[in-house]
Structure 1
Amino acid sequence: MTSKKTEKYDLILQGALKVFAENGYHRSQVSKIAKAAGVADGTIYLYFKRKEDILIHLFQEKLGELVNKFHESVAETNDACEALRMICTIHYTELENNPELAYVTQIEMRQSELELRKEIGITLKPYIELIENIVQQGIDNGQFRANLNVKLVRNLIFGSMDEVVTSWLLSGQKYSLRDQVNETLQFFIHGVSK
């Protein structure tokens, strides 16, 4: 994409994030997204065929950025416990710093149709695989118990962080999400350590 096209694409995704967070996905019209993005209604359709595509691309872009941050941070350590701390810290910090993204990823995704959730789930796969690799690394280097069910543990770790963020949103963000990292990590490490 040319820089002007990229700029409009980014504006549309930012507008969509704001509109989806404020109104919910199902109550968000393309015209509201266009207005929030500062583009004409028809411009949206130059980039996306339907509203569902906007949500899918939003997840691809935002979660892709997060996954890149996760990979960059854990590349610096061979310590599985430290890698989990980095993942948890980034997960909580990024979503606390962007409550609109947290709302859309935590609440709106769950209310989408099954097919849409499946498409969005593909975007989550690299994140889930990264957690799985960290768990396996912890087993391989003797930090974690050898008899762990790696796929189950990775789902429990991801699901725990996911639930912490959802609870934070539903509470009205009355406390710091980042402040939950140490207790979350203690829970993980206690569950997987020898």
Structure 2
Amino acid sequence: MNYLKKIVKWVLLLLLLPFSYIIISLLLTFITVNAKNHPEINTETIYLSTNGVHLNIILPITQIEAAVLRDIKYFDDDSYLSFGWGEENFYINTPNWSDLTLRNAIKALFVQSSTLIHVSRHRAKQSDWTEVKLSKTQLKQLNSYLLHSFKIDENGHKTMLLDQGYTPSDDFYKAHGNYTILNTCNTWVNTGFKESGLKACLWTPFDFGLINKYE
């Protein structure tokens, strides 16, 4: 009987953990930081995009500092670059949600592993992007956040993974940080906004929290 009680106790605990994670995540997602207007005039424009799960930061190339652009592949007819961050194995082996496996999902959430920055090139603004207005100072801080997210080699260069992009318009670069259940792709975007003085969630693993604050 005692053995059965222990089993029931552990089963209930295992069920309670994901439920608690979701509830706490939702509460922190709806708490807004940097909500007060910035003293500077918001003269600059960037964008957020989501595929329904994964957030990206999109900047006009003219608003991206030279240090960030260095070693990044783009062409003269490209107007925007999109930046996303995530776990390397998950990015490379799960190009579509139909490719998702339980093993890859568990590894991404619970096993510390290397990360990548996903850079996509766009020639024109897309209708489903969410506009974000910001000041020159905030834009500079966001550029700094992006720059320091890239892993730099011993020669001071970013490292691009050859022939690993999903399409001819995107590439992957080595990144700093570890992807975990507490530090997801959307947490990375939200942290960048927080550190740049932009309106953001207190903390979130979701895409909708930050998007909703700008719609």
Instruction: Give the TM-score normalised by structure 1.
Output: 0.23
Higher relative contact order (CA 8 A, sep 6+): 2
